A and B are shown apart, each in its own frame.
Chain A
């Protein structure tokens, strides 16, 4: 036993000294602030898998769900800023900054690496809906209240449509559901009038004719998919509301610059790799340019903060 002890001590010291060598020396954790199997989780898992091939060390996604992405963000803020904990973020985190619900702030406590995906929103109605065009809907909506189905009150759906209603002077009533699939069921069953959807989950219903797309919340039409060619955008109708969802990665503030540079370079490589492109095509995440560098990403947060802040005050979420 006495002989064994120094050997053990040496082994331990060896391990510890190794830890200070070139990054990355051990597995990296990616905090996914949503549950297993959600769209954000599936993206993070695929991306981590590809990233670990480039970095040569396992990149392990861990799920910290709850509180609309807040729990994961708080957890990531509690870890060391040594580059071994990354956090996946979505617009929910910018909204959390606006609402001030968490003691941790995205824009204060984290630094951007890059944005990988950007999605646009489509406003849809059920096939038997009384609205044929968006203009018709706006005119109706100025007189009567339109019911709108979405997930997470105070979240992206809520804010986005409130912004659109604000720009068009429509009266809308937000009817929250627990999940996207319940929203879909409510729309198809005719319980509510309109809803917001992502391209990937709407396209088959549009092809089938059970959902009619009214408008794309963007400045450019989706030309790569036939069914969307004739769907107008908000910008061309004169409403400057171009909110969509996106996914990207951040690290805790104070992470060494060399480590950040390595991560950014490798992430860019992954985003441009053919394997990732296949994945993006399957999930229709390639309709608008996804990759955005750290500076652009930070600017986008600031821009969206400026949009969401007055909306939140208006609908009574922020005093």
Chain B
């Protein structure tokens, strides 16, 4: 598969002035699209399609993949600064990113996010270049039972996300799952829990719920908090702390683990970055010594999901290019763009267009490297926005929330949804329920039910398939580790304490 002369040729192609400007330009447009809530990377690519009709195959492909890479960075900007996650993938970043921003460390949080994403992305494109054929064969071995196990692993992360009050965290997690089940049944197509509303037929859109439960709820909370003191002006402190490379090095284990988790999960068709981000966040919490910091602005809590999310973006390109099976909705659209260039997606793509893989590799690599260095300067500018008085910031966030919810399906009904979940999210926060697990359940619920029932459909109602497939068992084993290792750890601690006490006696 690996061909050195082709690689040099690709390098030569990329470094022509026009193509180089496509990479940089595409990346920048991607960051813009990604940072606007409600505007997905998919929409960005679709809007760029008319321009690519008249380009060649290679230039149009490198433009689109650079845009794709850029969009997965952009999402972190608004998620961290305003608590408005614009994509399901971004929800895990708000867990610790926004608390950091509130402590005045927005610059640092953004720096962590950008560096993490760049490293995750670079890791995954190398995996794509060297291991693509092997990894994509493995991806085909992952079937319904394994997908179900993966969603259970994701759900298990509730234990680490909602450690403050576990029973309430589980309640909101389950409510999230219930909301995800609204709409057409994935197995029979009948309507469920829509109360006769037609716009609920397609299911509840995630983005308005997320924007409501995070951004809108936060504004409402701020208003109540500030109401007493009447301090709506200029009290947001912004420290211009950024991040040095040396500081980043402390988190090398977290970064590498998240990059591997992200790439592997990203490769699976039909998962995408959200599960990758959630699982690697859960893993970061599990392996941390002091778990109490998480949710209050832990730096690993920003790095882990961010790294995994971007690694997943690269991972998703693997089956897209090698098998013609897109690893995520966005890569599906990149594939559609290939069709418009007269390419036929599928296993023969790489044989017919050998240069393409290398060109895409360099485009994604270059875009990531540029982000890594440019972002360190740019985040300072972004963080300045938070210096604005709250009476200016709040209406801007409200505008973002409204349009972000609206643009998801161009429907005012989504704005109602956003507002409703804003109120619900506000009360959840007030009474120590966890909006984060609500989103977790929402993102994973549909997939969990669908794969569980599909497996049962295939195995004629035989549950044993879940416990006999080796890969499923492996994932379940890891799930058990995530759930029980904190309990074991506290038990060991207590015993050790007892021992020392008895010895002292």
User: Chain B 184-215, CB within 8 Å of chain A: the 1/0 string?
Assistant: 11111111000000110111000000000000
Q: Least Cβ distance of A157 to chain B in Å?
A: 11
Q: Least Cβ distance of A299 to chain B in Å?
A: 27
Among B49, B319, B346, contact of A208 (Cβ-Cβ < 8 Å): B346
User: Whole-angstrom distance between the alpha carbons of A317 and B189 in the complex?
Assistant: 9
Q: In the complex the two chains form, is A283's CB within 8 Å of B201's CB?
A: no
Q: Least Cβ distance of B68 to chain A in Å?
A: 12
Among B46, B186, B319, contact of A176 (Cβ-Cβ < 8 Å): B186
Task: Give chain B's interface residue range (CB within 8 Å of chain A).
Answer: 35 or more
Known interface pairs A65-B202, A74-B198. Does A181 touch B339 (Cβ–Cβ under 8 Å)? Answer: no
User: Chain A 92-110, CB within 8 Å of chain B: the 1/0 string?
Assistant: 0000000001110000000
* Chain A residues with CB under 8 A of B140: 185, 188-189
Among B46, B345, B346, contact of A45 (Cβ-Cβ < 8 Å): B46
* Chain A residues with CB under 8 A of B341: 282
A293 within 8 A of B: no
B244 within 8 A of A: no
The stretch that binds A, out of B277-285, B328-336, B484-492, is B328-336
Output the nearest chain A residue to B143 by Cβ-Cβ distance: A191
Known interface pairs A45-B49, A205-B324. Does A101 touch B340 (Cβ–Cβ under 8 Å)? Answer: no
Task: Give chain A's interface residue range (CB within 8 Å of chain B).
Answer: 35 or more
Q: In the complex the two chains form, is A181's CB within 8 Å of B269's CB?
A: yes
Q: Which of B42, B46, B326, B458 has the most CB of A within 10 A?
A: B46
* Chain B residues with CB under 8 A of A153: 184-189
B141 within 8 A of A: yes
User: Whole-angstrom distance between the alpha carbons of A185 and B451 in the complex?
Assistant: 14
User: Whole-angstrom distance between the alpha carbons of A266 and B269 in the complex?
Assistant: 41
User: Chain B 141-166, CB within 8 Å of chain A: the 1/0 string?
Assistant: 11110000000000000000000000
A164-196 CB contacts (< 8 Å) to partner B: 173, 175-179, 181-182, 184-186, 188-189, 191-192
A262 within 8 A of B: no
The stretch that binds B, out of A13-21, A34-42, A215-223, A253-261, is A34-42
B43 within 8 A of A: yes
Q: In the complex the two chains form, is A66's CB within 8 Å of B189's CB?
A: no
Known interface pairs A64-B411, A173-B457. Does A152 touch B189 (Cβ–Cβ under 8 Å)? Answer: yes
User: Whole-angstrom distance between the alpha carbons of A181 and B143 in the complex?
Assistant: 13
User: Whole-angstrom distance between the alpha carbons of A75 and B199 in the complex?
Assistant: 10
Q: Least Cβ distance of B146 to chain A in Å?
A: 10
Q: In the complex the two chains form, is A189's CB within 8 Å of B143's CB?
A: yes
Q: In the complex the two chains form, is A147's CB within 8 Å of B186's CB?
A: no
Among B201, B326, B410, B411, contact of A101 (Cβ-Cβ < 8 Å): B201
Q: In the complex the two chains form, is A204's CB within 8 Å of B345's CB?
A: yes
* Chain A residues with CB under 8 A of B457: 173, 175
User: Chain B 432-475, CB within 8 Å of chain A: the 1/0 string?
Assistant: 00000000000000000010001001100000000000000000
B325 within 8 A of A: yes
B420 within 8 A of A: no
A262-313 CB contacts (< 8 Å) to partner B: 279, 282-283
B45 within 8 A of A: yes
Q: Least Cβ distance of B30 to chain A in Å?
A: 15
User: Whole-angstrom distance between the alpha carbons of A19 and B164 in the complex?
Assistant: 61
Output the nearest chain B residue to A102 by Cβ-Cβ distance: B198
Q: In the complex the two chains form, is B409's CB within 8 Å of A282's CB?
A: no
* Chain A residues with CB under 8 A of B40: 36
Q: Which of A70, A173, A188, A203 has the most CB of B within 10 A?
A: A188
User: Whole-angstrom distance between the alpha carbons of A71 and B131 in the complex?
Assistant: 42
* Chain B residues with CB under 8 A of A154: 188-190
User: Whole-angstrom distance between the alpha carbons of A9 and B157 in the complex?
Assistant: 61
B347 within 8 A of A: yes
Q: Least Cβ distance of B345 to chain A in Å?
A: 6
Q: In the complex the two chains form, is A71's CB within 8 Å of B189's CB?
A: no
Q: Least Cβ distance of A288 to chain B in Å?
A: 18
Output the nearest chain B residue to A104 by Cβ-Cβ distance: B198
Q: In the complex the two chains form, is B198's CB within 8 Å of A181's CB?
A: no
User: Whole-angstrom distance between the alpha carbons of A71 and B50 in the complex?
Assistant: 26
User: Whole-angstrom distance between the alpha carbons of A207 and B454 in the complex?
Assistant: 30
Q: In the complex the two chains form, is B342's CB within 8 Å of A282's CB?
A: yes
Apart from A71-B409, A189-B143, list 11 A-B contacts with CB within 8 A. Answer: A35-B42, A36-B43, A45-B46, A45-B50, A101-B201, A177-B270, A181-B270, A184-B325, A191-B144, A204-B345, A317-B189
Among all A-B residue pairs, the 8 with the closest Cβ atoms: A204-B346, A66-B202, A154-B189, A37-B333, A67-B201, A153-B189, A189-B140, A208-B347
Which positions in B face A, CB cutoff 8 Å?
Answer: 40, 42-43, 45-46, 49-50, 139-144, 184-191, 198-199, 201-203, 269-270, 319, 323-326, 329, 332-333, 336, 339-342, 344-349, 409-411, 450, 454, 457-458
Interchain Cβ contacts under 8 Å between A and B, 9 examples: A42-B49, A42-B339, A62-B410, A63-B409, A67-B184, A74-B198, A173-B457, A181-B332, A210-B347
